[in-house]
Chains A and B, each alone.
Chain A
Amino acid sequence: MSGHTDTHHEESFWRKYIFSIDHKVIGIQYGITALVFLLFGFTLMMLMRWQLAYPEQPMPWFGWLFGEEGIMLPEVYNSLGAMHGTIMIFLGVVPLAVGAFGNYFVPLQIGAPDMAFPKLNMSSYWCYLAGGIVMMFGFFVPGGAANSGWTSYPPLSDIATTGQTVWLFGMVLLITSSLLGSVNTITTIVQLRAKGLTWMRLPFFVWTQFITGFLLLLAFPPLEAAGVLQLMDRLAGTSFFLPSGLVVSGELLDVSGGGSPLLWQHLFWFLAHPEVYVLILPAMGIVGEILANNTRKPLWGYKSIVYASSFLGFMSFVVWAHHMFMTGMGSTISAFFQTTTMIISIPSVVILTAMFISLWGGSIRYNTAMLFALGFLPMFGIGGLTGLPLGIAASDIHLHDTYYVIGHFHYVVAPGTIFALFAGIYYWFPKMTGKVLNERLGKIHFWTSMIFINGIFAPMFIQGLAGISRRLWDGGISYAHATDTFYLNEMMSTSAWLLGLAQIPFIINLIISLKSGEKANDNHWEATTLEWTDAPSPPLPHRNFEVIPEVHRGPYEYSVPGSDKGFIPQSEA
Chain B
Amino acid sequence: MEIPYNVEERQDTGMYNAKLGIWLFLASEVMLFGGLFSAYVFLRMGDITGTFASGSQELNVPLATFNTLVLISSSVTMIMSWVSLKLGDIKKFKLHLGSTLLLAGVFLVVKYFEYTAKFHHGIYPDTSTFFAIYFTLTGLHMIHILGGMVVIFYFLVPGSKMMKTEPERFTNRIETVGLYWHFVDLVWIFLFPILYLL
Q: Mark B112-148, 1 if CB is under 8 A from A, else 0.
A: 0000000000001111110011011000100000000
Instruction: Flag whether A259 is at the interface (Cβ < 8 A).
Output: yes
Shortest C-beta distance, A226 to chain B (Å), equals: 7
Docked pose: A259 CA to B47 CA in angstroms: 8
Q: Contacting B3 at CB < 8 Å: which of A116, A224, A237, A238?
A: A116
Instruction: Flag whether A560 is at the interface (Cβ < 8 A).
Output: no
Q: Which of B38-46, B103-111, B149-157 contacts A (4 or more CB under 8 A)?
A: B38-46
Contact A256 B129 (CB under 8 A): yes
Contact A543 B1 (CB under 8 A): yes
Contact A183 B1 (CB under 8 A): no
Instruction: Flag whether A331 is at the interface (Cβ < 8 A).
Output: no
Which residues of A have CB within 8 Å of B38?
Answer: 222, 266-267
Question: From DSSP, what is the main secondary structure of chain B's interface residues?
Answer: helix
Q: Mark B10-33, 1 if CB is under 8 A from A, else 0.
A: 100101011011001101110111
Contact B24 A187 (CB under 8 A): yes
Contact B39 A240 (CB under 8 A): yes
Docked pose: A465 CA to B6 CA in angstroms: 56
Contact B46 A183 (CB under 8 A): no
Contact B136 A238 (CB under 8 A): yes
Contact B32 A217 (CB under 8 A): no
Instruction: Flag whether B159 is at the interface (Cβ < 8 A).
Output: no
Shortest C-beta distance, A6 to chain B (Å), equals: 11
Q: Contacting B28 at CB < 8 Å: which of A192, A217, A239?
A: A217
Closest A residue to B17 by CB, please name it. Answer: A116
Docked pose: A217 CA to B29 CA in angstroms: 9
Interchain pairs with CB closer than 8 A, number: 147
B interface residues, tally (CB under 8 Å):
43
Closest B residue to A259 by CB, please name it. Answer: B129
Which residues of A have CB within 8 Å of B132?
Answer: 232, 236, 238-240, 256, 259
Instruction: Flag whether A491 is at the interface (Cβ < 8 A).
Output: no
Shortest C-beta distance, A236 to chain B (Å), equals: 4
Docked pose: A116 CA to B47 CA in angstroms: 47
Shortest C-beta distance, B137 to chain A (Å), equals: 10
Contact B42 A232 (CB under 8 A): no
Which residues of A approach B to under 8 Å, CB–CB?
1-2, 4, 7, 112-114, 116-118, 120, 179, 182-184, 186-187, 190-192, 217-226, 228-229, 232, 236-240, 244, 255-260, 262-263, 266-267, 270, 542-543
Contact B28 A229 (CB under 8 A): no
Instruction: Flag whether B88 is at the interface (Cβ < 8 A).
Output: no
Contact A186 B129 (CB under 8 A): no
Which residues of B approach A to under 8 Å, CB–CB?
1-6, 10, 13, 15, 17-18, 20-21, 24-25, 27-29, 31-36, 38-39, 42-43, 46-47, 49, 51, 124-129, 132-133, 135-136, 140
Which residues of A have CB within 8 Å of B4?
Answer: 112-113, 191-192
Residue of B29, B31, B136 with most partner-chain A CB within 10 A = B31
Q: Contacting B32 at CB < 8 Å: which of A114, A184, A225, A240?
A: A225
Contact B47 A228 (CB under 8 A): no
Which residues of B have CB within 8 Å of A255?
Answer: 126
Closest A residue to B128 by CB, please name it. Answer: A256
Docked pose: A229 CA to B5 CA in angstroms: 39
Closest B residue to A262 by CB, please name it. Answer: B42
Which residues of B have CB within 8 Å of A240?
Answer: 39, 43, 129, 132-133
Closest A residue to B10 by CB, please name it. Answer: A191
Which residues of A have CB within 8 Å of B28?
Answer: 179, 182-183, 217-218, 220-221
Which residues of A have CB within 8 Å of B42?
Answer: 260, 262-263, 266
Docked pose: A113 CA to B6 CA in angstroms: 12
15 examples of A-B residue contacts, CB within 8 angstroms: A7-B1, A113-B4, A179-B28, A183-B25, A187-B24, A221-B29, A222-B34, A222-B38, A229-B39, A232-B125, A236-B126, A238-B132, A240-B132, A258-B49, A542-B1
Closest B residue to A219 by CB, please name it. Answer: B31
Docked pose: A120 CA to B4 CA in angstroms: 16
Contact B39 A258 (CB under 8 A): no
Which residues of B have CB within 8 Å of A118?
Answer: 3
Which residues of B have CB within 8 Å of A266?
Answer: 38, 42
Nearest 5 CB-CB pairings of A with B: A225-B35, A222-B35, A237-B126, A238-B132, A221-B32
> Known contacts A228-B136, A238-B125, A256-B128: does B25 contact A117 (CB below 8 Å)?
no
Contact B13 A190 (CB under 8 A): yes
Shortest C-beta distance, A273 to chain B (Å), equals: 14
Docked pose: A192 CA to B5 CA in angstroms: 8
